[in-house]
Every structure is written in structure tokens, then in C-alpha cells.
Amino acid sequence: MEGNTIKTFTASFWPKDNQDNNAVDSYALFRGSFILDEETEAVFNILGTHWFQAFIDNNFLTEGPARFPADYPEYETIRKSLPPGKHVISAIVHNHGVDTRLLCGSIIKPFFACGTAETNIPIKWKCKKADGFIPSSVRTNPQFSWIEWVNTKDNPTEWQKIDFNDSEWEEVIYFNPDIGLPKPLNISGIYRIHHKLSHTDEGKLTGPFDFISPPKWEKEYDVTWYKRSLANIKNDDINGVWRRYDLGRVRLGYPEFVLELPENSVVEFALCESLSDGKVTPYINLSAGLSRNLDHYIAKGGIQKFSPITPRAGRFLEIYIKAPIDKVKFINEDFIERTYYNKKTGDFECDNSILGKIWEAGINTLNACAEDAVTDNPTRERGQWTGDALPSTAIASVAYPDLKISARGLRQAAFCADETGLVAGLHPGHKLHFISYSLLWADANINYYKITGDTAVLEELFPFAEKNIAACENKLTPDGINVSNVHNFIDWGYISNNPKADVATTLLFYSALNSMIKWCDILGFNDEHYKSLAAKVRSIILKKLNPEIKKNNWDKIGYHSAVLALKNNLLEKENISTAVDFIKQHILSCFPNNPDAPQQTDSSVSNRQLITPYFSYFTFPVLIKYGEISFVLSQIEKCWGWFLENGLTTIAEVFNLNWSHCHVWSATPTAVLSQYCLGIIPRYDMGDKHFTFAPHPGNLNFAKGKIPVNGTNEVIEIEWQKDNGKLNCTLKSKLPVFIHVIKDNSEIEFINLKNSASFIY
């Protein structure tokens, strides 16, 4: 790999004999040898597809790639201080050959690339097909690629080590993989956190095992793994052992076990988010097809490490080992978690311990859903959805000072726009375009700017924003946005009164236009078109709403439209209280407030008597604005407390346990508790390191916590206590920050906080 041009920065995935074959679900091994005359800080630029793990001198180096659209690849830069002598970079690379949520594997060719950047170290590359990985024809689910089915005896032993003899390996073939020019990856590194495991249960095992040949599973419940008996086993039937582990919460990562086993022993891992009949089942709910959350290995014999190459997710892990039970020895049992975020700098506590636990569960959920992108769920898809950008950025901002992956998501949504200019709702692997998510993308950019002050993102993405709004404007009719021929998503269970003129989507369009006006003002561009269009859309909305408001027909307007109308300040003062009352009564009529109400048992359910955790992102700030903080806190305790009562330690996708148990779009209470109860919100649109302070105590008597200062290692500490209807407040910051104290929507004090300040609120 010489220099940084596309031709010399990339290498073929396969050895020469397999270049034309390009077999789907195949693995290749690479070794790059080089010699240093003196101690050197080597700088490596690394990129590969469709998934790889790389090592330096047999030590883990990195994995990836960070997902990318084909025209916008990004390489990772890693610096390593190396002593003089021989060194080896090694990598195992998996050719998916199919599209997943992460990459378009049917379009992007498999390859591995490693350049030495400015250090320009000559590297001699060799490669070999990894024969022990047997194509299984079985995908983890339709959102992911393939399960691992490996006869480890057919893979070379210790091939990552410096002194491994690779003389019979082949030379690599350099080629252009027909992707865009790779640019540096502008996010922080991914954490790999090692968790030592202790099993919660174990036992003897009986039941069928598939051996070396690929499995022949045709239906959902014919997986031999699932049929195995864990209890009431006769001694004559015993053919192995099993152990179960609780990871504490849903995590993305790898089981990594060191075992001593006889040759030809079978080792299998399986993960799930919740136990069924008391045991792990290898199925992922709502996968839109068959799922197999498991991997299968044949042992070489002796002491050996077993771990998948591709990360898996779940809360509960089981290992099954087919071997004489007296010959099985567990030497090391680990789970290596993959996450973008590690130790939080933000914090929250109050005199209601349940709220504190819910805040923490939201952070757990974010951590599980954050890697090179903020994803909706790590177990089912690791998908990057534009609609999640608003809540996930708000949640991340109250715990971590690094929001680079939020900006990266906004960029990739733009880079994956369709031919009309509509930015993507799902990207960059499987691409979907939802007009509602395209509209929310405009709001998400402005919200990101308010939190970070990052004008570079706004400058880069403004041309995409113009095309995006133009594409949406083409769907505008005299009665509103026509969504009858486009993908659209307002909320689970949502029923439109009129798809040809959907009110909720038109309200999202109005909000996006107001964001475009702000966008223009920030960058100094002409905003007259967006102001004129916003006025037109406002008139259309009021024409639709006012007749129903006059008749007090809020049920026809609907929960979602009522919330969005309030959010966008479209109701007359005399109608606000009735709208707020309607929203509250609707929420109280729904599950889990009303145990007899319908539940969102699956994605096909459409019913007006439903609420979701997702839409609370829009609802709760509106209710708080109009004095309903106590109601909001009661709903957080009641509804999100329902998750805790059911044993969850992360926040589920909807108020039904059939769905994902870890979905970041559901964790809005974490942001609400910090931003509104603690009362401090970043407002970099007011100036660098500017924040508003407006605590809403509700029925709480005490709260304290920390808010990160974006892009720094510092925090603002907040504490208040209620005293005779007033709040005794103390703010502290080691870094100079500017606090706008807000009460009744007006600034009552401006504090240049350089150390601490105490005052009565």
C-alpha cells in the first residue's frame, strides 16, 4: 500500500486464485510484514469491507469499517509506537456479498486496505482464503449478514504472530474497488470494554448438534440448537455441557471464551434480549424474516480461543459445548463490548429514586446503540435511522461531550438522498426514504447546531437541505402534504385522516421550513422563499385545524397533530388549555396507564388509542412549556417505570415486550430529566458556551447533576433544593460558561459563570 491514491490505498480481498470467484460469505486472511530500523511512531490508514478485524504483532488493532455510502468512504487513522525489528499487520476480512444495514455489500466490492501515511513504511502483503469458514447460507437475520460456521481445524494456527511462516501464502492483487476517494474518519475511536463473566446457571446437555456441514434449516423453529433439552436429562443421553450468562443489560460485542477441549468438540454461542421458557432462544423479534442469533465452531483440540469476528448483541448469552463433560475446561469467559461511549461525564439524581434509575437506563440504552453511528437497536439491525437523530442527540448531549457521530449521521443521510433530493430515512446500507424523516432531518441539523455551535455542518449540508425541502414542496397540495405515494412514518399506530393531505406531515413540513429560515439566518443567506412558503403552509394547516377546534373535535385532529400544532405555536391562546387537556387524557387512556387498552403487539397494529416512547420527544417539552411538568414526571415514572418493573435495564422500543428491549429513540426521559428538571440546556446559537437555566421542579424537592460542556472535558454542576416554593440553586463550572436564567419565558439574569454561583430561583 503506497501513498494515498485510491489505486494504491486499496488491495483486493481475495488471493489470486479466488479473485474471479468472489464467493459470498467467504473470509480472507492478510499479513503485511515490514521492518523498522529504529523505534517509530507508525501511522496506519485502514479501510476494508464488508467487515474486518485487524491486528498488529498479534495484538488487536481495530475493526470495521465505519459504515459508509459507496461514494463517501472514510478510513481510520491509527498511530502506534513500535520498536525496531520485524512487525506484522494482519487482518481477517469477511465478504458479505449482500446488503445489510451497515453497507451495500452487493455493490461495494470486498477489499482490505492499509497505508502507512506520512511514515511511508514499505509493507509486503500476503493473503490466503480462510478455508475453515464454511458458507452456511444462513443469515443472522435479513438486516445482518451471515452466521459464522467454522471448522477451526482448517484455519492456520497463530497466523497473526510475527514469526508465522507465510511463505506459501499468495501475493495480494491491487485493484480499484470503484468507491469514492477515501477521506479521514472524523469520529473518536470505538471502545472495546472487557467484561469478566460469571455464569448464572449451568447444566448437562442433550440434543442434536450440526457438525461440520452447513446447516439445513428451512423454517423458523427447526434450529437444532433450540430443541436441546436443558433439564430432566438421563445420564445415557448426556453429550455436553451448557452455561448461561446475564450481561446486565443489552450489549453489542463478542463473547470471547478460552476453553480446553478435545478435537472435534462443537462450541456454539447464542444471544437474546430476554429469556423464553427460562432459556436463551436464537431468534430476534421483528426481524422481517428468519433469524439465527448464533455462531458455530469445531475445535482444533487443546486450549483454544472461541469468538465471532462480527459483533452480536443481546443481554443473555448461552454457550453449548458438545464434548465429554469431564474433558471440558473453562479457562476464560469474557464479553468484549463495542461502544462509542464509555464513562459518562453527565449525571442526574433527585429525591425520586425511580426517576434516577430511568435516567440511567436511558444512558445504558444509548451506550448499547452507539458505535460508528447512533443506531436504533444493536440486536435486530444496528440501523442508522434519521428519525432517531433528534432524541438520540438530545440524550447524548446530557451525558457525553462528543457528538461527532450525530453529525456523521446527518451527513450520511444527506449523502444518501434519492434522485429527487429527499434525504434518506435509513442509510447507508439498506436505504429508505421517508418524507417525515426527511423533514425531521432539517430540525435535527438546527438542534445539533444549538447544542454544539458547529456551523461547518450547516455550511456543508445546506445545498442538500435546499434540495430536500424542494422535494417535499413538490408533495404540497392546497390541503397539505400528499403522502399517498411516498413512504411516511409519524409514529407506530398512527392513522392518517387523509393521506392525500396528511396534517401531521404538513406540520412537520412547517417545522422544517422554520428550521430552514434559521439555517439561512445563521449562514447569512436569503430566507425569503422559506418565509413565504412557511406562511403558505401555516395558512393550510389552520384552514384544516380551526373548524375542528371550534367544534372542540380534538379526537378528529388526533394526538400527534395536537402535539405538533402546540409545538409549532399554531394554536390561539384560548385553545391551548383544551389541547393540553386532550393530550393528557389521550395519554392516560393508553397502555400502560390503562392496562386494558390496546397494545402495539407488532408493527401492523394501527390504533388511535396508543402512545409510544418515541413520540414523547415531541410531547413532553410541549406539556412542560404549558405547566405540566408534574404530569410529565408522573408519566415517566409510570410508563418508563413499567420497563423497570418488567426487569429491563434498557428502554424498549414500544410499551410491549415483544419488540426490541433496547431502542435509543425511547430514552427521551433521560434528556427531559437533565434539560428540564435540572434545567440547563446548551444554546450555542446564543454564543459559544452559552446555556439557558430554567428548572422545572414539579413535585420534586431536590435535584442535582452534571451537564457536559460540548467538546471539552469539563461539566457544569447543578444543584437545587425547594424551600417555601422557591429554589435554592447552585451552579459550578471550572470552565467559563455563560448562563441565561429564564423564568416565564423571559431572561431574568445573565451569569458569567467562572467558578460558582448561588441564587434563589
Does residue 13 surpass a pLDDT of 50?
no
Q: Which residues contact 249 (CB under 8 A, 6 or more apart)?
A: 315, 364, 368, 649, 650, 662
Beta bridge partners of 133: 150
Residues 426 and 370 in one domain: yes
More confident residue, 677 or 5: 677
Q: How far apart are CA 95 and CA 15, in angstroms?
A: 13
Average confidence (pLDDT) over 578-601 = 97
Nearest to 389 by CA among 594, 760, 191, 665: 665
Q: How far apart are CA 761 and CA 749, in angstroms?
A: 10
140 is a domain residue: no
Residue 20 confidence (pLDDT): 47
Residues 703 and 563 in one domain: no
Which of 339, 370, 392 delimits the end of a domain? 339
Q: How far apart are CA 750 and CA 432, in angstroms?
A: 45
At 526, is the secondary structure helix, strand, or coil? coil
Does residue 35 surpass a pLDDT of 50?
yes
Residue 5 confidence (pLDDT): 39
CATH, residue 616: 1.50.10.10
Query: In the structure, what pLDDT confidence band is assigned to residue 534 with cuts at 50, 70 and 90?
Result: very high
- Cβ atoms of 679 and 621 within 8 Å: the answer is no
Residue 232 confidence (pLDDT): 65
143 is a domain residue: no
Q: Which domain holds residue 696?
A: 690-760
Residues 329 and 402 in one domain: no
410 is a domain residue: yes
Residue 8 confidence (pLDDT): 41
Which of 319, 339, 359 delimits the end of a domain? 339
Residues 569 and 696 in one domain: no
CA distances from 165 to 55, 123, 168, 304 (A): 17, 16, 8, 20
Nearest to 32 by CA among 108, 103, 113, 153: 113
Residues 308 and 360 in one domain: no
Nearest to 538 by CA among 557, 518, 511, 517: 511
Which cell is 228 given?
Answer: 436441546
Average confidence (pLDDT) over 271-281 = 92
Q: Other CB atoms closer than 10 Å to residue 397's CB: what's the count?
A: 26
Which of 320, 339, 358 delimits the end of a domain? 339
For 187-237, the pLDDT digits (tens) are: 999 999 999 999 999 998 887 766 667 777 666 555 666 667 777 677 777
Residues 520 and 446 in one domain: yes
Residue 626 confidence (pLDDT): 97
Beta strands in 23-106 (DSSP E): 26-36, 40-49, 51-56, 59-64, 74-82, 85-95
200 is a domain residue: yes
Q: Rg for the chain (alpha carbons), in Å?
A: 27
Q: Which residues contact 406 (CB under 8 A, 6 or more apart)?
A: 374, 389, 392, 393, 396, 448
- Cis? peptide before 195, omega within 30° of 0: no
Residues 67 and 32 in one domain: yes
Q: How far apart are CA 368 and CA 321, in angstroms?
A: 28
137 is a domain residue: no
Average confidence (pLDDT) over 87-114 = 94
Query: In the structure, what pLDDT confidence band is assigned to residue 37 with cuts at 50, 70 and 90?
Result: very high
Average confidence (pLDDT) over 622-648 = 98
Query: In the structure, what pLDDT confidence band is assigned to residue 370 with cuts at 50, 70 and 90?
Result: very high
Residues 124 and 221 in one domain: no
Q: How far apart are CA 17 and CA 31, in angstroms?
A: 17
For 372-429, the pLDDT digits (tens) are: 999 999 999 999 999 999 999 999 999 999 999 999 999 999 999 999 999 999 999 9
Residues 86 and 173 in one domain: yes
Beta bridge partners of 27: 94
Q: Provide the mean pLDDT of the chain.
A: 93
* Count of residues making up the chain: 761
The predicted model scores a pTM of 0.95
508 is a domain residue: yes
644 is a domain residue: yes
For 134-155, the pLDDT digits (tens) are: 998 899 999 999 999 999 999 9
Q: Which residues contact 414 (CB under 8 A, 6 or more apart)?
A: 423, 441, 461, 464, 465, 468
Residues 644 and 589 in one domain: yes
Query: In the structure, what pLDDT confidence band is assigned to residue 23 with cuts at 50, 70 and 90?
Result: confident
Which cell is 634 given?
Answer: 408522573
CATH, residue 248: 2.60.120.260
Residue 10 confidence (pLDDT): 46
Query: In the structure, what pLDDT confidence band is assigned to residue 112 with cuts at 50, 70 and 90?
Result: very high
Q: Which residues contact 284 (CB under 8 A, 6 or more apart)?
A: 140, 141, 272, 291, 293, 379, 380
Residues 273 and 154 in one domain: no
- Cβ atoms of 752 and 736 within 8 Å: the answer is yes
DSSP state of 323: S
Residues 219 and 73 in one domain: no
Q: How many domains are there within the chain?
A: 4
For 314-349, the pLDDT digits (tens) are: 999 999 999 999 999 999 999 999 999 999 999 999
127 is a domain residue: yes
352 φ/ψ angles, rounded to the nearest 5 degrees? -110, 105
